Amino acid sequence: MIIQNYVQGKWMNGEGTELEVFNSINGDFVGSVSSAGLDYESILDYGRKVGGKALRKMTFQERGLMLKALALHLNGQKKKFYALSAATGATKIDSWIDIEGGIGNLFANASLRKQFPDLPYYVDGDAAPLSKGGSFIGHHIMVPKQGIAVHINAFNFPIWGMLEKIAVNLMAGVPAVVKPSEFTSYLTELMVREIIDAKILPEGSLQLVTGKGHGIIDHVNYQDIVTFTGSALTGRKLKNQDNIIQNSVPFNLEADSLNASVLGEDAKPGTPEFDIFIKEVQKEMTVKAGQKCTAIRRILVPENLIDDVQTALNSRLAKNTIGDPSIEGVRMGALASRLQVERVKENVELLMQSQEVVYGDLDNFDIIGGDKEKGAFFSPILFRNNKPFEKTDVHNIEAFGPVSTLIPYKNLDEAVELVKMGKGSLVTSIITADDNIATEFVVEAAHTNGRILVLNESCAKESTGHGSPMPLLTHGGPGRAGGGEEMGGKRGILHYLQRTSIQGHPQTITAITKQFQVGANQPEANPHVFRQHFEELTIGDTVFTHKHTVLESDINNFAQVSGDNFYAHVDITSLEGTIFENKVAHGYYILSKAAGMFVDPKKGPVLLNYGIDECRFVKPVYPGTTIGVRFTVKEKIDQEKKSEDDIAKGIVKFLVDVYDETGETVALATILTMVRKLDQSK
């Protein structure tokens, strides 16, 4: 079997064979891999010109729906991925993390469309006034980079590693070429075939290089983005290539790190937190056979509890069964390849020179099924290091497998210091029921970690665990961990966009951003905006309401109806020493009265008002003040039909500007409405 590349719209073989890959359970031949001879300059250019052009024409809403459709499709095909995933040494749980975790990233990023405008680009933040008269303002927009994302991924997550990255760049409107590890690229290839055959993504938006990929970043330019997941050493070499430096190419490095888990001083044997800690450490040592960039490598324990932890952890590891994942009862599979066995063994032997093995054996361990000689099996190895400030290999050497080290600490300050000795981690966890301990640790250790998990009995059942990065939270870490940042929900998408400041008249900025800017034209709406369908509404169209003079009786009546008898509204004798000159109208009365003034009550295209954003009461309103409302179409966001029977509609944001007889604004708010479309077929 030849594991093929998908580039420039077709499947193709590389020249010769760069690598033969084997089933890590039984040693059977899986296939040969090669990307030698591929024209990377043309491949990158194809992605930019074909895939990038198509994606940039789509709005965030359309891209989000595209990802949702892809996720639903892949979810329906996942059985075939599980079947092949076993060849990588993965148990069903390991495969679930890789396959369904990856598909979950597509779903999560698809849902982010609701946080973006109905445009191909993003409007960032608020306008900045740049002149006294208000005729000159500044703003920021973020547009998709007109390059390609080059993703160089590790061997341990051949599906999740790809999907968690492309979900973000596709949502941003940027194409990608994915280079998975050649050792497990056969699983990535299977999924990419399914993606391409589904024809959900525009052609050119995803390409695949399954071989070694030598030279793939030689032709990147300043509009491209490179991401790398793997060893810190390889990552630094790639990041320092002349082409990357000279073109200022963004390079996101997510490297394996010496992550820690800390047992709080309160979590003594017999407490739920002690049991949670033991279970979590054992899980992180054995899930994916310890081949996770987030796995626990250093187990930090109060020195008076280290013997208890060692006994409990050894007992739990002894119940772990290693072997063929297809056999009932097997809880840990194999490493991804025989090469990984040699690499992990080499680092374990280095660690043995400075610390004691308290569980496991490099050679003498049993497996169930599989082939111990041809497969890539490895025993869990637990070390103990009683002098972690003197014997520091544990803070510098990582064995990327089921290997971890018990380390004692005297107090919380020392625990933080030991965590810092890892020189930057993707994640550290602390297991404690004491919120004071949790707070002190998090504040002191956050600077050296990309993520901190605080675990206790209250959240343990629903916790995703120490080793699970989540798509809506950032994944990465400082120092040894690479200094990169990926995923993170909306934050991750913004990494693929170019932020540009724009300056001009409010009307021009309104035209560019498709969001009403104060100072832009406000032509009077005709007919009333509540009589217009979604497609008919124009940004800036405004309803200028009739006026109303606020009376003291209005304030008293609202206090009676609402029950809001705050002294400033009802007791004129209590105003001394306050900012108020008289009884002041309730802010919510002003907003409620404004609604009565701007609403057209007859049945029409407006289906409902479902929220208020950015509500501010900026000037006191006293009895005798006359108010009016400028009610302006601020922004429009299309919304998909959930079914054939669903009403075709969109979201319209209206700016509510309540002003007094001097023309000054007294209250501002944005209301969100759901408005029927004229064309019900869309």
Residues forming the active site: 254, 293
- Determine the Cα–Cα distance for residues 431 and 277; give it in Å rounded to an integer: 6
**Which spans in 112-184 are helix H?**
160-172
Q: Is 54 exposed, middle or buried (0-12, 13-18, 19+ CB in 10 A)?
A: middle
Q: Which H/E stretch holds residue 144?
A: strand 137-144
Q: For residue 611, what are the β-bridge partners?
A: 672
Count CA within 13 A, CB hemisphere, residue 379: 18
* Closest C-alpha to 232, from 396, 53, 115, 387: 396
- Determine the Cα–Cα distance for residues 257 and 296; give it in Å rounded to an integer: 9
End-to-end CA distance of the chain: 46
Q: Residue 12: CB partners within 8 Å, gap ≥ 6?
A: 4, 5, 6, 38
* Closest C-alpha to 106, from 156, 68, 137: 68
Pairing of the two strands 626-638 and 548-549: antiparallel
Do 437 and 412 form a contact (C-beta atoms < 8 A)? yes
Pairing of the two strands 497-504 and 542-544: unpaired
Instruction: Tell me what percent of the chain is helix, strand and coil, each rounded to the nearest 5.
Output: 35, 25, 40
* Closest C-alpha to 301, from 409, 389, 382, 394: 409
